[in-house]
């Protein structure tokens, strides 16, 4: 009997410990933070910050969920249908208006967060871009951003007597001259994968540089204007000197780093990769060609036949409509 009593006591104690642990876990507030910064080194940085926050706030479990920027609309739609929206989303500003129209975002939370940081700490331009025109409230918090450039092998351009790739004519000249020069296989890794944002980001700069727009001032579709047709023709004709097959930023980046192509559309995020090499799926880094930074130039402006354009993206932090109030405490306050 004593033996059975001891066993029963152990079982009861184990059950009590398990119940306490379960209650403790249930008392934690779980905050999901979805981010389009989905490369490994960036995710590790987010997770380090989340760990530090949780150490100071043990009642909160902060989950970092990396997502691909091209799939964010589908992911959010699925989460909304399942009533499981994340609490915070890091995303491009181009998503803010549509998510606001779909009543996904908590405008009051965004407004309160910006006011707690200090409206004067933000530039007027970014604040205008996240302002909901109907309510006049801020729909998201400006966070960071990038500028796109056409990076190029300045050493080979100099050898071939090419002008920097700023005008359409000079880009076309480089397209024809670069394949076969030195060790180059192609002129460029072009955005051709329709499932990625990369082709859209490149073509927007091309279109704007020719004063081509998808809509006019009255909201009419204007994809058939002479300026738009000319922009589409210029972009598609670049395929003659580009890597074959569907590609996006990863292939364009790697071919440039490996010395296979001499042109690359990329944001300012590329600068450290020109030195260290970008990360690979197996955890290593691309072995960049020697002295690539010294051999590289960049053209942040593109000049078409009817104008000129630079291109970049404002990245925002958005709080969803069902987010726990603690989500506001996670965002920067100074």
CATH at residue 51: 3.40.190.10
3-state SS assignment for residue 144: strand
Same domain assignment for residues 133 and 150: no
* Closest among 287, 292, 260 to 274, alpha carbons compared: 292
Same domain assignment for residues 124 and 154: no
Residue-level pLDDT at 217: 85
Q: Which helix (H) or strand (E) holds 100?
A: helix 96-101
Residue 1 lies in a domain: no
3-state SS assignment for residue 102: coil
Same domain assignment for residues 109 and 56: yes
Same domain assignment for residues 108 and 162: no
In the chain, how many domains are there? 2
Same domain assignment for residues 126 and 213: no
Contacts of residues 234-240 at CB distance under 8 Å and 24 or more positions apart, as own/partner, are 234/168, 234/172, 234/206, 234/210, 234/304, 235/202, 235/203, 235/206, 237/172, 238/171, 238/172, 238/175, 238/187, 238/188, 238/190, 239/190, 239/192, 240/175
Same domain assignment for residues 118 and 193: no
The contacts of residue 21 (CB under 8 Å, 6+ apart) are none
Residue-level pLDDT at 24: 46
Residue-level pLDDT at 132: 96
Say whether pTM exceeds 0.85. no
* Closest among 153, 145, 98, 112 to 296, alpha carbons compared: 153
Residue 16 lies in a domain: no
Same domain assignment for residues 94 and 33: yes
161: left (phi over 0), alpha (psi -120 to 50) or beta: left
Residue 9 lies in a domain: no
Residue-level pLDDT at 22: 42
Residue-level pLDDT at 198: 93
Residue-level pLDDT at 143: 93
**Which residues constitute the domain of residue 85?**
28-139+314-330
Same domain assignment for residues 70 and 90: yes
Residue 3 lies in a domain: no
Residue 153 near residue 296, CB atoms below 8 Å: yes
What is the mean pLDDT, run by run of 10 residues, along the chain of 334 residues?
A: 41 40 62 91 92 94 93 93 95 94 95 93 95 96 94 98 98 98 95 91 96 90 94 97 93 95 94 89 85 96 96 95 90 61
């Amino acid at each position: 009997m004593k033996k059975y009593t001891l066993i029963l006591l152990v079982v009861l104690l184990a059950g009590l410990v398990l119940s306490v642990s379960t209650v403790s876990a249930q008392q934690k507030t779980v905050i999901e933070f979805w981010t389009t910064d989905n490369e490994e080194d960036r995710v590790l940085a987010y997770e380090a910050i989340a760990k530090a926050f949780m150490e100071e706030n043990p009642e909160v479990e902060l989950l970092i969920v990396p997502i691909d920027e091209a799939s964010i609309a589908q992911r959010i739609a699925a989460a909304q249908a399942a009533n499981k929206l994340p609490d915070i989303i890091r995303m491009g500003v181009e998503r803010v208006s549509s998510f606001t129209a779909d009543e996904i975002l908590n405008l009051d939370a965004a407004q309160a967060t910006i006011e707690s940081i200090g409206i004067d700490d933000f530039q007027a331009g970014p604040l205008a871009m996240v302002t909901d025109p109907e309510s006049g409230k801020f729909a998201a918090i400006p966070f960071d951003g990038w500028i796109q450039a056409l990076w190029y092998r300045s050493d080979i351009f100099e050898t071939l007597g090419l002008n920097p790739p700023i005008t359409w004519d000079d880009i076309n000249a480089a397209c024809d001259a670069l394949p076969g020069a030195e060790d180059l296989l192609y002129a460029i890794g072009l955005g051709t994968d329709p499932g990625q944002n990369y082709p859209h980001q490149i073509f927007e700069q091309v279109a704007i540089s020719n004063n081509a727009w998808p809509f006019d001032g009255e909201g009419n579709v204007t994809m058939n204007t002479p300026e738009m047709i000319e922009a589409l023709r210029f972009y598609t004709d670049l395929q003659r000197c580009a890597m074959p097959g569907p590609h996006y930023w990863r292939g364009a980046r790697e071919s440039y780093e490996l010395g296979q192509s001499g042109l690359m559309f990329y944001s300012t995020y590329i600068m450290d990769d020109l030195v260290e090499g970008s990360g690979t799926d197996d955890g290593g880094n691309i072995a960049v060609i020697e002295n690539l930074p010294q051999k590289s130039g960049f053209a942040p402006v593109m000049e078409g036949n009817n104008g000129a354009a630079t291109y970049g993206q404002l990245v925002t932090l958005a709080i969803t409509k069902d987010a726990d109030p603690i989500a506001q405490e996670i965002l920067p306050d100074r």
